[in-house]
């Protein structure tokens, strides 16, 4: 059964760094990519970045300067780090599964709610 | 970057009705279009990919159509469990989501 689960702090101070972990099961990170998506309260969805199955990464240009994604395939974990947080980074952060370029997000985690406090 | 314009922002319909949600891309996305359903308090779930292919387990009352820059999601015979927000997404050139449509029962 394919599962993704996000974990990390619920509350982060402004200007600090957010670190989230996505732990996957039911598939291998060497066969699928993982995309991070976020959703501010009551708003729409924004893709943040992707780590492809070959380990390469791409980032949303709006977040590229603050964001990094890497992984530990032996632990089936993907890591998101985003620095210089502001209050408008308050959101639910999702990790999702992706087969490759020009393909959809066919499985989603439950989401991690992160509040940035000033 | 490709922009996605989704309409309407909200929709109220009765049980058994047919509803349609539209999405327009700022350039041709060659059917690289997905629809997701998000129920309150839950994560989005894939409904349709490649503009018109139903994801595994999705009821057949959902259908997608379109090409080029114009796409639509149709829900036939609306059920109570269809109350949700719906998002279109292009994946032709990285990823962009529409702003969403909130579907409620009348």
Most B CBs within 10 Å, among A38, A45, A67, A95, to test the B interface: A45
pLDDT of residue B13: 97
Residues of B in contact with A58 (CB under 8 A): 94
Question: How do residues A69-110 score in pLDDT, each as one tens digit?
Answer: 999 999 999 999 999 999 999 999 999 999 888 889 999 999
> What is the chain B residue with the closest CA to A112?
B43
pLDDT given for residue A98 in this prediction: 92
The closest of B11, B56, B62 to B35, measured between CA atoms, is: B62
Report, as an integer, the average pLDDT of B81-100: 97
Residues of chain B with C-beta less than 8 angstroms from the C-beta of A47:
94-97
Given this model, what pLDDT does residue A102 score?
82
Q: Which long-range contacts (CB under 8 A, 24 or more apart) does A25-31 make?
A: A25/A1, A25/A76, A26/A1, A26/A2, A27/A2, A27/A97, A28/A73, A28/A76, A29/A53, A29/A71, A29/A73, A29/A76, A29/A78, A30/A73
Alpha carbons B88 and A56: distance in angstroms, whole number: 26
Which residues in chain A are contacts of B1 at CB distance < 8 A? 61
* Whether pLDDT at A115 is above 90: yes
Q: Mind listing the pLDDT tens digit for each residue in B15-65?
A: 999 999 999 999 999 999 999 999 999 999 999 999 999 999 999 999 999
Give the three-class secondary structure for B49: strand
What's the DSSP call for residue B55? P
Distance CA B94, CA A54 (A): 17
- Residue A58 near chain B (CB below 8 Å): yes
């Amino acid at each position: 059964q394919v599962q993704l689960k996000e974990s990390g702090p619920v509350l982060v101070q402004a200007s600090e760094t957010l670190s989230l972990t996505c732990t996957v099961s039911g598939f291998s990170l060497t066969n699928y990519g993982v995309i991070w998506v976020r959703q501010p309260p009551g708003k729409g969805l924004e893709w943040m970045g992707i780590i492809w199955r070959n380990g390469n990464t791409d980032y949303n240009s709006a977040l590229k300067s603050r964001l990094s994604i890497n992984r530990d395939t032996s632990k089936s974990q993907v890591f998101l780090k985003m620095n210089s947080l502001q209050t408008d980074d308050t959101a639910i952060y999702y990790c999702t599964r992706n087969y490759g370029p020009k393909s959809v997000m066919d499985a989603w985690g439950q989401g991690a709610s992160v509040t940035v406090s000033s | 970057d490709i922009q996605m314009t989704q309409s309407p922002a909200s929709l109220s319909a009765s049980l058994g009705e047919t509803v349609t949600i539209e999405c327009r891309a700022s350039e041709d996305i060659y059917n690289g279009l997905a629809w997701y359903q998000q129920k309150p308090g839950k994560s989005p779930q894939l409904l349709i990919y490649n503009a018109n292919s139903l994801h595994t387990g999705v009821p057949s009352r959902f259908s997608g159509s379109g090409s080029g820059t114009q796409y639509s999601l149709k829900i036939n015979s609306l059920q109570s469990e269809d109350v949700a927000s719906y998002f279109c997404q292009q994946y032709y050139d990285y990823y962009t989501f529409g702003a969403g449509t909130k579907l409620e029962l009348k």
